[in-house]
Structure 1
Amino acid sequence: MATKGIETPKLTALRVLILASDGGYAHCMAVSLERLGVADVEHVETLTAATSVLRRRAVDIIIAEIHADRADGLMVPCMVSELDRAGRLHRIPHVIWTADQNTGDVFGTTAATAGLDQGWQDTLNGVSRVALLSHARLARTSGIQVEIAPDSSTEGLIATIERLADVTPQPPHVVCANSAEPPDEEEVVSALASGAGLRVVYQPQYHLQTQRVVGAEALVRWQHPRYGDVSPSVLIPLVNQLGLDLLLFSFIEKSVIETLVSLDKAGIDIPVAVNASAKTLCAPGLATRLATKMHKAGLPTKRLKIELTEDVATDNELALSASITALRAKGFQVSLDDFGAGAATLALLSQMPFDEMKIDGALVRAVGQTATSREVISGVVALAKLFNLTLVTEGIEDESTIALLNQLGCEVGQGYALAHPLELGDFMQLVGTRTVTPLFRKS
């Protein structure tokens, strides 16, 4: 008989949804959950019913059986992603896929997360193991944590649940809180011109070994009077379509310089990064204007970092190269964002002079899943050393990833496992402690 799991507040507070057309399967899952002290368990038989539950209330974990004759389990990540894009989720649940008792005892938790070379059989209940692992990794890159556990091994299932209880899920995507329609163009223009409803939050960047805050990334937020919080994934494309990217950059830059002044008065010397598209960087006189503002504020230009994003591509690489060179000549650090998200970032790195590169969050989230992902990260670390670049890893979401990144030579990182983006007051309080900062702040 399997050992009973240890009940903890995190486990007993879990909200679990079991998706199964087989009542016997659902009963076995419920018994395993009872051993952990999980009381909030709901069972549904169809994907449609599961969709209704997620629309109605928050769920932490969905457990579903993998079987070639029952596709609902495979469709769970798709369903979660669609609800998330529609802004209908209370939170993004983790997903556990299980195989039946006839699958064998080789599908343990370690094998499920280690990759394709663990001696698995060719299929899990008729589903190709290679395709299944690929599907799971794709779900993880979209922000949905998917794990595989055998229900033939109760201890394996419990271990998976216990591990997921410590993994902070990504917050749901919010399009507009009170409307399916985004704000219109006039409202965007008005907000940027007046600053009404706009604010800047700060996501801390940590030295992974010392656990000290060594920098931050500035991110814009828009609180709309009717729609509530408007997602940056909605705001930024609207801004770019209207050609107002430089106006938004100016708003963020002004707020960041004011924050840098406050940090300087507190004796805190850390850089803060501001995102900018290639089009924004190519604005005439940008480097001179920024340098003048920093000098007037009594700040060294190295405190303001410019982070090149792929929001708007440039068709003039010469202009972009000249702009980056001008910024660096003024003492600004220039960072290449989302390295690994596409071939374009590699081409830019080989052609442009950068001070820093940031590993795309999708690569970081996959690092614990396969040996290949770890080799990719190791290659990026070596590449950063070759080009003499500072390396920052984005998208860190659990403690095991922090330890693994440390082993691979990554020194600086950011992500929800370290700290969520913080309001200005909370950020100032965090960096103002001047002591070792504990990781896994859930602010």
Structure 2
Amino acid sequence: MVDRRIPKVRDLAPLMQFKAPDLNAKRRRLESALTIADLRKIAMRRTPKAAFDYTEGAAEGEISMARARQAFEDIQFNPAILRDVSKVSTGWNVLGAPVSMPFGIAPTGFTRMMQTEGEIAGAGAAGAAGIPFSLSTMGTTAIEDVKAANPNGRNWFQLYMWKDRDRSMALVDRAAAAGFDTLLVTVDVPVAGARLRDKRNGFSIPPQLTLGTVVNALPRPEWWVNFLTTEPLAFASLDRWSGTVGELLDSMFDPTVTFDDLAWIKAQWPGKVVVKGVQNVQDARKLADLGVDGIVLSNHGGRQLDRAPIPFHLLPDVVREVGSEYEVHLDTGIMSGADIVAAVALGARFTLVGRAYLYGLMAGGRGGVDRMIQILGEQIVRTMRLLGVNSLEELTPEHVTQLERLVPRARAAAAERAAV
């Protein structure tokens, strides 16, 4: 028999603590997001389809993007136990200066279309968190305004080489004058990738407001009001343009750029030079020999060549080739702090997040970007503690096993012959 009694209020009170309601809808919405996937869901509800698809989409069948994300899922962490992990440090030096965490905000184009605060929100949040912010050539906020939003933080400028070299270098000069410390030269866009979602949505500059566009935007009144009552959308570094994004890229970008042009750019820039868009070991070796300060393994978030190499898979081979002292950075497919920790363990000095940043921006402007950074930071710390490490320097390839899903046929055949 079980003895029963009438519960007393004083016994129940400690077990029934009610949370005070938060009347701030935006704060309540963002606090409910525990992962980047949660921010994505909020962003999708609040952003018209054309703008959301510009962020979400990739080239052609979007196979590159799917494979990049799958690669991060296909890992096994190998933790050590009985380590004192009461204190964990997530910072170190990147390109000669400190960062608080091993990730920064990637350059993104058309950013104010996603949410009206655009690059100002990203730069301010990055500066507050102690991580770099990257401004795209195709950004929607002027170089000088980004500097004003992040006056004491690290600002990087991402450069596309145009057919008009004088205009390209005029932007470089403006970035240098504004105190940007790093130039990200993006080299994987000789022509625009086939971004089919944008074509289907009629995504253009300025946006073409069809009946479908208006109907889709009406249930999202905050986005609609912001779009109509703020500065007309344009690429802040460029003249006005009428046409699709792909047509703009094809009209501007120079398919004749070579390693010689890169050496010339490097000679013009007073700060660090990093080449973004490296996709094989041989090019990584050549760039290291050329003397650029670092490289970013990237397939442009899957937005250029579909079925491109997976940067995370390429990482260990590149690090072996160029040496662990050379700065290898990584982007494409990163959706959690655990992904970042895995990349650092396999030799990446730094990572860049693009879609995760834009999900946060669409979910809540500056507050959403702050929340994105907070989520990734908490995940980094938790993953490091569970692995049994106190600092980024303690992470090694032994902490991560890349499980194989896609194995090249020649490699598989060689393994079979060796087993016979």
Under a length normalisation based on structure 2, what TM-score does the superposition of the two structures give?
0.37
Q: State the TM-score, normalized to the length of structure 1.
A: 0.35
